[in-house]
Amino acid sequence: MSRKKDIHFEISERKVLLRILDLLMIILGLYFLQNSFDYNYLTIEKDNIVAIIVLAIYITVFGTIFEIYDLQKSSKLDVTFRNIVLTASTTVLFYLLTPVLTPFLPEQRLQIFYFYLIIITMIFIWRWAYVAFVSAPRFYKKVLLVGEISNIESVIKPLNQTDPNYKIVGFINCELETESQIKFKGLREFQPEELMDVIRTEKISEILVATHNSETITSEIYHNLITLLDQGFIIREYTQVFEEITYRVPIQFVGKDFYKYFPFSRSNQNTLYLTFQRAFDILLSIIGIIIGLCILPFVFLGNLIANRGPLFYFQERVGQNGNLFQIVKLRSMIVNAEAGGVKWAQKNDVRVTKFGVFLRRSRLDEFPQFINVLKGNMSIIGPRPERPFFVNELSRIIPFYETRHIVKPGLTGWAQVNTRYGSSVDDSLTKLQYDLYYIKHRSVFLDLNIVVKTLSTILYYRGQ
């Protein structure tokens, strides 16, 4: 089947494009500024190469924290503008506070305003162009789904929520017809014999095969897929695409061949990585304990006034390899909060005191856990430790739940920076998918990514 190949951008390509064009637009703006106005604070020349690199680093780091590289948010201009202003404001502030690496303050303070304004203006111009052109329907990746109707909703929902440019235009039911055929109304259905015509008329870029059992694929669909594959058409398996787009492991599709889905990261046995991680844990936990001791008198006073009762509370949690340990936190709930039995923590939980709400939102209640990190019960980064009661319950319901215990639990983790506070079995399933992705792809780069995203999570009060 000969057809004209449509242009579309993968997730990784769009994220790289956003970052590179942000920096190029800022450089272009500064070049315009120095040649059109009385401006000489940061000019584009060889002598300022270090200062330009520092600016690029600040923009990249703070842009990540304030989510200007989030693809969902980048497709909305109002949200994008707010995040650009926050990024530019923080970047300029830190830029002015590092005069050893950056230019000294100019005599005319108005030049700082020009510098600040050009960053916002140039990034926003590029983001307007991104929304108008790159995020336009003409660049969507149009996908045809081949799978079982029982799986359709669990397939399309997470993909649509994660990548606005990945458009599943319809599906073909690969199961043989039965007397009580199930119908799915949330997506256009095509008949198996229409497969070739649909690819041509809908300008399909990719076929996504999502089935628990390949034996359910009819011989007609199978032969058409083989023909397309021979012609170089892209045919991909759902779990691969799901993991690539959502950064989660789709354990609901994992069966007896589970070993195919868990080629865990070499970092889990890499002595150099583990040594570096432990050194990082010790350093950060010492810093965290020192900061915690400095704020402890103020927390004690607030607890005395608005949260009467013990300052700390201890609770049993499941750690690495299923070993139990006592986690320590600042108490944020009323005394005897679980007198009526163990319960899920809920959003706006009535058991949380007014001062406890402040402790949770500011994450101050987590500071004592640096003691657990220093003792080696926990790490800075890893799956959050859960209580034995919930581990026992969830292990019976969710497959591979206890797999998350092959690494140390953490203060923060991939699930914490990507999803909300877990308050149900469904939430726990989503968190497990993220945790298994972390264990599978664990690396220094992913750890640094989590650290940066944790700052964003705290700033936007997520994960409460």
Kindly report, residue by residue over 449-464, the tens digit of the pLDDT: 999 989 888 877 665 5
- pLDDT score, position 30: 95
Full residue range of the structural domain in which residue 25 is found: 11-134
pTM of the predicted structure, to 2 decimals: 0.84
- pLDDT score, position 173: 83
Closest among 282, 276, 384 to 329, alpha carbons compared = 384
- pLDDT score, position 180: 46
- pLDDT score, position 352: 86
- 228, 310: one domain: no
- 434, 368: one domain: yes
- 283, 412: one domain: yes
Rounded Cα–Cα distance for residues 425 and 398 (Å): 8
- pLDDT score, position 1: 52
257 within a domain of the structure (yes/no): no
400 within a domain of the structure (yes/no): yes
Domain count, the chain: 3
The series of mean pLDDT values per 10 residues for the chain, 464 residues long, is: 60 87 96 91 92 95 92 88 95 90 84 94 96 81 84 78 84 68 71 89 90 76 90 89 89 72 80 93 96 93 87 93 94 79 70 86 91 96 93 90 93 90 79 93 92 85 61
- pLDDT score, position 129: 93
Rounded Cα–Cα distance for residues 23 and 379 (Å): 35
Q: What are the tens digits of pLDDT across the range 97-148? A: 888 888 888 878 889 999 999 999 999 999 999 988 887 777 788 999 988 7
- 309, 438: one domain: yes
255 within a domain of the structure (yes/no): no
- Strands (E) located in 344-409: 379-381
Distances (CA, A) of 118 to 30, 54, 315: 7, 17, 51
3 within a domain of the structure (yes/no): no
- 329, 421: one domain: yes
321 within a domain of the structure (yes/no): yes
- pLDDT score, position 462: 65
6 within a domain of the structure (yes/no): no
Final residue before a domain boundary, out of 108, 134, 160: 134
- pLDDT score, position 179: 47
Q: What are the tens digits of pLDDT across the range 344-377? A: 766 667 788 888 888 888 889 999 999 999 999 9
Rounded Cα–Cα distance for residues 355 and 303 (Å): 7
